A and B are shown apart, each in its own frame.
Chain A
Amino acid sequence: MYRTRLRRTFGAALLLCAGLLAHGEAEAQGTAYTLRGTVVGMGSQPAAGVTVALRNTQLRAVTDAQGRYTLTARVAPGTYTLQFSGIGFAEASRQVVLGAAREVEVAPVTLQAGAVELEGIVVTGTGAPVERRQVGNTIASVAGEAVNEAPGAVSVDQALQGKITGAVISENSGQPGGGVSIRLRGTNSILGGAEPLIVVDGVLVDNNSDALVSLGANATRGGAALSNRLSDIAPADIERVEVLKGAAAAALYGSRANNGVIQIFTKRGRQGTPQISFRTEVQASETDKRLPLNMEPRVGTADRAVNAGLVLGAPIERFDIQDQIFRTGYGTSNQLSIAGGNEGTSYYLSGNWNSEDGIVRSTDYDRRGARARISQRVSDWLEVGVNGSYIRAQTNFVPEGEQTQGVFTSVVFTPPFFNPAFNSNTGRYPYNPVLGGNPLDVLENWIARSDVDRFLGSVQATATPLPNLSFTYLFGMDSSREENVYFQPPFSTGPAFTGSIQNPIRSIRKYNSDLTANHDFQLNPGLGLTTTAGFRYTSDQVNTVRAAASDLPPGQTTVVGAVQTASQGITELRTFGGFVQERVNFADKLFLTGGLNVEGSSAFGADERWQMFPRLSGSYEVGREPFFAEGRLGDVFSTLRLRAAYGQTGGQPPSEYLNQVTYLNVSYAGRPGLRPNTLSPNPNLRPERQREIEGGFDAGLFNDRASLEFTYYDKRTSDLVLSVPLAPTSGFASQFQNIGVLSNKGVEVTLNTVNVQGDDFGWTTRLGYARNRNRIERLNQASDTLVFEYLNAVIEGQPIGVFRGAYYPRDAGGNIIYPASGLPRRARTCPRTGCRTASDSIVATRVIGDPNPDFTASLGNTFTFRQNLQLSFLLDGRFGNDVANFTRRTSDFFGASANAAKEIRGDTLVGTFTRNTERNLLYEEFIEDGSFVKLREIALQFTFDQPWVRRFGVTEMGIRVAGRNLYTWTDYTGLDPEVNLFSASTVARGVEFATTPIPRTFSLALDLNF
Chain B
Amino acid sequence: MTKRFSRGALRALSRALSGVLCAAAVLGLAACDLDLINPNAPSEEEVLGSSDLLLTTAVGIQAQYAENLNLFLRAPALVTDEWGTRSLALAADVSLVTGTPDPAFGVVSDPFAAAYRIARTADILVANAPGLSLGAGLQAGVTSLSRLLKAMALGHIYIQYERAPVNFDPNGAVPQPRAVVLDTVISILEAARSDVATVPDADLAGFRSRVLGTGFDLRNTTDAMLARYYLFDGRYQNAIDAAGRVNLGVLSVLSYPNPGINPVYNYSVLAQYTGTRKSFFTEAQPGDQRPAYWANRSTGYSGNPPTVIDSVFAFRQYSNRNDPYPLYLPDEMRLVQAEAYTRLGNLAQARTLVNTVRTQCSSALNEPMACLPALPVTALDTEAELLTEILYQRRYELYAQGLRWEDLRRLQQYTTRRPSIPFLPYPQSECDRNPAQPCG
A residues lining the B interface (CB < 8 Å): 2, 5-10, 12-13, 475, 511, 513, 515, 535, 537, 539, 569-574, 576-578, 598, 600-602, 606-607, 609-612, 614, 648, 656-657, 660-678, 686, 725-733, 781, 832-833
Contacts and interface: CB of A to CB of B under 8 A. Distances in A.
12 contacts: A5-B15, A6-B23, A537-B25, A610-B14, A660-B44, A665-B41, A667-B59, A667-B63, A669-B215, A671-B213, A676-B57, A729-B168
B260 A669 contact: yes
B17 A730 contact: no
Given A602-B36, A676-B120, A671 B59 contact: yes
Contacts of A600: 14, 18, 34
B233 interface: no
Contacts of A665: 41
A727 B172 contact: yes
A474 to B, nearest CB: 10
Please indicate which of the listed interface residues A570, A577, A668 has the most CB atoms of chain B within 10 Å of its own CB.
Answer: A668
Contacts of B284: none
B43 interface: yes
B43 A660 contact: yes
B29 A513 contact: yes
Contact of B14 (A609, A666, A669): A609
Contact of B17 (A7, A535, A725): A535
A675 B60 contact: yes
A571 B41 CA distance: 11
Given A513-B25, A537-B29, A668-B59, A662 B40 contact: yes
B70 to A, nearest CB: 16
Contacts of B364: none
Contacts of A612: 1-2, 5, 10
B59 A673 contact: yes
Contacts of A664: 41
Interface stretch (B290-298, B355-363, B427-435): B427-435
Interface stretch (B109-117, B223-231, B266-274): B109-117
Given A5-B19, A515-B24, A569-B40, A602 B35 contact: yes
Please indicate which of the listed interface residues A612, A670, A671 has the most CB atoms of chain B within 10 Å of its own CB.
Answer: A671
B37 A660 contact: yes
Contacts of A727: 172-173, 429-430, 432-435
A723 B150 CA distance: 27
B117 A674 contact: no
Interface string B120-149: 110010000000000000000000000000
A833 B95 CA distance: 12
Contacts of A607: 7
Please indicate which of the listed interface residues A669, A671, A727, A733 has the most CB atoms of chain B within 10 Å of its own CB.
Answer: A727
A539 to B, nearest CB: 7
Contacts of A611: 2
Nearest to B14: A610
Given A673-B63, A675-B63, A676-B120, A662 B38 contact: yes
A511 B173 contact: no
B44 A676 contact: yes
B116 A729 contact: yes
A9 B14 contact: no
B374 interface: no
Nearest to A538: B29
Contact of A13 (B10, B23, B58, B256): B23
A700 to B, nearest CB: 36
B433 A725 contact: yes
B34 A602 contact: yes
Contacts of A6: 18-19, 22-23
Across chains A and B, which 10 residue pairs bring their CB atoms closest together, nearest first?
A731-B120, A673-B60, A9-B19, A669-B213, A673-B59, A668-B63, A657-B38, A728-B113, A662-B41, A727-B434
A402 B14 CA distance: 48
Contacts, number: 224
Given A662-B38, A667-B259, A676-B121, A648 B1 contact: yes
Nearest to B209: A671
Nearest to A648: B1
Contacts of B433: 725-727, 730
A664 B117 CA distance: 13
Given A5-B15, A9-B20, A578-B17, A729 B430 contact: yes
A660 to B, nearest CB: 5
Contacts of A515: 21, 24
A145 B66 CA distance: 67
B56 interface: yes
B20 A10 contact: yes
Contacts of A833: 100, 102
Given A610-B14, A648-B1, A672-B59, A728 B430 contact: yes
Interface in B358-405: none
A656 B116 contact: no
Given A662-B38, A675-B60, A535 B20 contact: yes
B27 interface: yes
A755 B103 CA distance: 70
Contacts of B24: 13, 515, 535
B165 A729 contact: yes
A730 B7 contact: no
A314 B283 CA distance: 59
B173 A576 contact: no
Given A535-B20, A598-B17, A731 B42 contact: no
A663 B41 contact: yes
Given A600-B18, A663-B47, A576 B119 contact: no
Contact of B60 (A9, A475, A513, A674): A674
Contact of B173 (A10, A598, A671, A729): A729
A668 B60 contact: yes
Nearest to A13: B20
B1 A614 contact: yes
A3 to B, nearest CB: 10
Please indicate which of the listed interface residues B22, B38, B41, B58 has the most CB atoms of chain A within 10 Å of its own CB.
Answer: B38
Nearest to A610: B14
A661 B210 CA distance: 25
A377 to B, nearest CB: 22
Interface string B287-323: 0000000000000000000000000000000000000
A537 B214 contact: no
Contact of A672 (B20, B39, B56, B169): B56
Contacts of B33: 574
A457 to B, nearest CB: 12
A665 B25 CA distance: 39
B36 A572 contact: yes
B344 interface: no
Contact of A662 (B5, B13, B17, B42): B42
A464 to B, nearest CB: 18
Contacts of A577: 17, 21
Contacts of A609: 14, 34
B429 A676 contact: no
A755 B213 CA distance: 85
Interface string B48-86: 000001001111111110110000000000000000000
Contacts of B39: 570, 572
B34 A675 contact: no
B15 to A, nearest CB: 7
B66 A668 contact: yes
A673 B57 contact: yes
Contacts of B11: 610
Contacts of B255: 669
B315 to A, nearest CB: 22
Contact of B116 (A598, A671, A730): A730
A672 B53 CA distance: 10
B170 interface: yes
A20 B335 CA distance: 90
A511 B29 contact: yes
B21 A675 contact: no
B179 interface: no
A572 B35 CA distance: 11
B110 to A, nearest CB: 8
